Amino acid sequence: MGIRRNKTMIEQAADYVEAAVETAREKAGPAIADAIEKAGPVLADAKDKAGPALAEARDKAAPLVAAGVAAASAQASNVADLASEKAGELQDKITGEPKKKHTFRKILIITGVAALLGFVAKKLASRGQPDN
């Protein structure tokens, strides 16, 4: 004779759930079948009604979409023309103006360097001669 062991809470819950699922299937089976039988003609009728409505909506929307695409492309070409025009203007501004040559500044620098060289040359030349 074997020792009888008690079921754990999980095993008891699993048994209870299995029994509940079986009874639910038995009770819901005919109701589901009946719902499927009733829904079949209703779904077919809905498909029949929705098909022409969708085709009509598609026919109405096609010209509107085409007009929108045409307007968008026209606007895009206008924007592209404006952008190229502005780019051309900016390029003219950049390359059109000659750079400043700063001639007066260059003359001052050259004369300053020449004066500095003259001063250094005079000092080097006067080294060899004693002062009176």
Judged on CB neighbours under 10 Å (0-12, 13-18, 19+), 69 is exposed
Examine residue 112 and state whether it is found in any structural domain, yes or no: yes
**Predicted confidence (pLDDT) per residue in 42-95, tens digit:** 888 888 888 888 888 888 888 888 888 888 888 888 888 888 888 888 877 777
Range from 17-21, 87-91, 110-114, 118-122 carrying the lowest mean pLDDT: 87-91
DSSP 7: P
* Alpha-carbon gap, residue 85 to 77, rounded angstroms: 12
Residue 2 belongs to a domain: no
Residue 1 located in a structural domain: no
- Does any domain span residue 132? no
Question: For residue 43, what is the DSSP state?
Answer: H
Kindly state whether residue 77 falls inside one of the protein's structural domains: yes
Which is more confident, 113 or 35?
113
Containing structural domain, residue 60: 9-126
Cα–Cα distance, 13 to 58 (Å, whole number): 55
For residues 33, 37, 39 and 45, what is the CA-based torsion angle, rounded to 10 degrees? 160
Answering whether pTM is above 0.85, one says no
Residue 82 covered by a domain:
yes
Sequence-distant (≥ 6) Cβ neighbours of residue 39 within 8 angstroms: none
Name the domain count of the chain: 1
